[in-house]
Each structure stands twice: as structure tokens, then as C-alpha cells.
Structure 1
């Protein structure tokens, strides 16, 4: 008599589970399919359908860098021009399509910068309206520092004269680095006033205030979080290399320059 016993019905779910585990790529299939189907709809010009599929892909896998990039494209295409309507609330981060698209691009760059960033730079269709905006251009400068691109911080500083300092519950201070190396400080609605001199030393910025010692500053890329910390976009910051406890006001840093324009604090 054979000692072989056929598998019971109870073991079938276990066998199915083992078969699923043996196929590591299968668990990602739905996610990949949603993004791929969305891209097909996108190429056909059905942006609304594509957007829904990209959102489905991100619900299944929030770390899908390609779906992030693609959703930024359809967010732009479906919402461009709305910022020109009188009812548009620029400071409503959840409804501002510019910030939503930049948040997806920021997360995509964070997840797979080497692959995603060239695709962003080459895009002339989905991101066209976003790329025309100053918010995107400032965001791209922040990404250039993050990626360590040619020219680096020195190029960014030379091309970025306007910076913002804003302490909690305080009036914003605007710092301008003039071509003649003067630092101009302005607090609306007051007039501008000189605040010192600036110079470049390699990739460091040297500030010599009207009163005080010269100090070295550096440019870095940081995240600006919004929607209660659920989203972010990249921005540039100027920060003192050696923070002095005696420094006050804008000399304590950081100075910010990023997609957010205006006072939304």
C-alpha cells in the first residue's frame, strides 16, 4: 500500500500563497499596469482618464516615481490657466495645481533622480505650462544644487539676487544681492536700506553687514512641507556656515528662495 496521501482541500490556500510569494514581481503588477495604462491614455490625449489611472497607481504604490512624474503632467494639463481666475486661492496648497505638481516632481526626483530628472528636462508637452512659471524655475535651481550639477551653488547665487527671511509671526524681510555687491534690506511698506556688502569665495557667500563681522554663508536645498507635512517641494536656502548665537534678525538665517511667492504664512 502506498504511503502517499493527496493534499487536502485545506492546504490549497497555503499552496496559492506560496505560489504568489514565488513571483516577486507579481505584487507590483497592478501598480505597473495602472501607470502603463494611464500613459497610453495620456499619449492619446485623454488626460482625465490618465490622471485617474496615475492616482490609482499611486494609491497602490506611493513610491512609484514614474506615476509621480506622470501625475504632475496631467495635473498641469488639466489645471493650467486656473490660476488666472479671480476665485483662485494661491495660498490654498491643496488646491493650487502649481504646488501639487511640484510636490509630485519633488517626490519623483527624491525617489529616482538619475532617471526622472532627464525626463523632466526633456518634457515639452505635459509640463510646458508649469515650466513657464517662475515657481518652477526656482524649484529647478534648488534641484540643481541637490543634484550637484555643473556650476553648482556659485551659479545659483549669481542668478538669484532675491531672498526672503521670515521669522514666525513677524514681518517678512526681503534681502537683495545687488550686482554692485551691496546688500539691500526691505521691510514692506518701509523703504529700502543698505545692509552691508556681499562677495563670492568659491561656492560660499561672504556677508559683511553694516555693523558686525564678515560671515560665510552656503547655499543648500531643503524641503518646504505643506498639507500638514504630507507633501513638499524643494527650495533653496542660504544659511550661515558657522551659526553665531549673537546674530539676530535675518543675519541668523536662513534666507529662502523657492516656489512659494508672496506671504502665505
Structure 2
């Protein structure tokens, strides 16, 4: 296979003929991600962001460009969430969700290489990593990559979950330290609705007046922006098919993720 060289008047004609190149000499396209990272290191975040955008248009699967765009998205927008006109629930324009969507794709593509870079980042992702949205997302990633001590990181002594299903009243479900399941609907008082205990792969939940059932601990995807983007969230899903006797939160899944219940 012929080797293509960068077109230059300095390439001797004899060398071109010796290499057997008979067609046009083509120049390799510049690496937009590498150019963007150079601008990023110089502090020109707007230029870097535009180059990372270009890199992703050329190759949407470029996991490193995803990570880098999350960095510049954070640096160019941090603090805007404190403005009076900031619409937290406009997910397609909320910079935190956009950055988490890029990080989710990056980790999905190459967790082994990119997750350490995310964890060690104290510059580009600093503001994002200080948010509750990121901390919930990081729990989901812990489940996704099967990190050691997953249950302790996600469940702990007490964990708070959301039941969010179309046509159902959103509920906050707490797996409390005393092993009671507590439910809250529409900011009313919390009331007991069952019991739970940890299992090797998740938890066992016994709703009031219903049989016990195992729930699996999983990493799920929450899609937004008309399905074009997603971020990871932690899910508890009932093991096996639900029955007609199940209703409300007992049908699952329960979730812990960046999404705020205030947006529902």
C-alpha cells in the first residue's frame, strides 16, 4: 500500500517516484482534539471548546474529545446556575447535564483509560465535581464499572431514591438505617411502607402486605434532549416480572441520579 506524504515543494520529485506515488500527494487532516487540548492548556477555553466540537463532528465516538468538551463546558459556564434566569430543568441547556452526558459517553467508550483522568481532574471539572449532580452520577459509575465496595458507596446506612414513571405520582423512597422503607409523595410527611435488607447483588424489599422480593443494583441510562443524550444513574429494579398486585413504587425502578425531583 502506498504511503501518502504531506504535499510540499520540498519533497524531491525523485523521492516521490522512488516511492511509487503516482496519484496526488495528500496532507493529513489536523487533529482537532489535539489542537483543542493545546488551546485548553493555554487557557483559551472558548477556542478549545470550538475545536472539541469540531473533533466530535468528525468522530462522535472520540472519547477523549468527550472528556475535553465536558471540561470546557464546565469552565465556560460555571456559576451560571446561580443566576436568576437560569432554568435548571431545561436539561438540553443546563451545562451540568451536558457535561455529564459527555462524561457518560467517555466512560462508556473507555472507562479504564478515562475514569482515572476524570477522578484526578482538579482543573477543568472542578466546579462540576463539587455539585450534587456529579456526586450522584459518580455513584452510578461506581456501579457501571463494578468498583470494590459498591453497595457501601451507593446504599450506605441510608439511601434516598426516586420513583419516576409516566402517569404515576413521583415518590421519594428512603431505605432507612433502621431497615424501614419510608415513602414521601409531593413533599408530604414520610410514612413507613415496608422493610428492606441488603443482599449480595442488591437488596430485598418487603412492601407492606406483599411478599418479599429481591431488587438488583444496576447502572441505567436517563435520556434527555429528545433522546440524543444520556447520563448514567443508579437503579434498583425488581428481580423478575412484576405482578398485577404491584402498584406504584413497587413496580420499580427506583433511581439515584443527577435528575432533580423538583423538575417533575
The answer to whether the superposition gives a TM-score over 0.5 is yes
* Structure 1 contact 154–203 (Cα < 8 Å) conserved: no
Partner in structure 2 of residue 131 of structure 1 = 129
One of 158, 181, 184 as aligned partner of 2:179: 181
Q: Using the alignment, how far apart are the partners of 1:114 and 1:168 within structure 2?
A: 35
Aligned to 1:158, the other structure's residue is in SS state: coil
- 1:212–1:49 distance in 2 versus 1, CA, 3 Å: same
More helix by share: 1
Aligned to 2:263, the other structure's residue is in SS state: coil
* Structure 2 contact 202–236 (Cα < 8 Å) conserved: no
- Displacement of 1:256 after TM fit? 1.1
Q: Using the alignment, how far apart are the partners of 2:58 and 2:145 within structure 1?
A: 28
- Displacement of 1:247 after TM fit? 1.4
Partner in structure 2 of residue 244 of structure 1 = 242
* Structure 2 contact 157–177 (Cα < 8 Å) conserved: no
Q: Using the alignment, how far apart are the partners of 2:254 and 2:128 within structure 1?
A: 25
Partner in structure 1 of residue 70 of structure 2 = 72
Q: Deviations over 1:179-221 (max 9, x none)?
A: 1111111102432211111111223201111211111111100
Q: Deviations over 1:63-98 (max 9, x none)?
A: 111111000000000000000001000111121000
* Structure 1 contact 152–203 (Cα < 8 Å) conserved: no
- 1:169–1:264 distance in 2 versus 1, CA, 3 Å: farther
Q: Using the alignment, how far apart are the partners of 2:213 and 2:93 within structure 1?
A: 40
- Displacement of 1:233 after TM fit? 0.5
Partner in structure 2 of residue 209 of structure 1 = 207
* Structure 2 contact 72–124 (Cα < 8 Å) conserved: yes
Give structure 1 regions of 4+ aligned residues with deviation exceeding 4 angstroms. Answer: none
- 1:159–1:109 distance in 2 versus 1, CA, 3 Å: farther
- Displacement of 1:116 after TM fit? 0.7
- Displacement of 1:171 after TM fit? 2.2
- Displacement of 1:263 after TM fit? 3.7
Partner in structure 2 of residue 37 of structure 1 = 35
Q: Using the alignment, how far apart are the partners of 1:141 and 1:160 within structure 2?
A: 14
- 1:111–1:206 distance in 2 versus 1, CA, 3 Å: same
Structure 1 residue runs of 5 or longer lacking an equivalent are 1-13
* Structure 1 contact 154–202 (Cα < 8 Å) conserved: no
Moved more, 155-164 or 206-215: 155-164
Matches within 5 A, 1:62-141: 62-141=60-139
- 1:63–1:254 distance in 2 versus 1, CA, 3 Å: same
* Structure 2 contact 238–251 (Cα < 8 Å) conserved: yes
One of 6, 24, 49 as aligned partner of 1:51: 49
Partner in structure 1 of residue 59 of structure 2 = 61
- Displacement of 1:154 after TM fit? 4.9
CA RMSD of aligned residues (A): 1.9
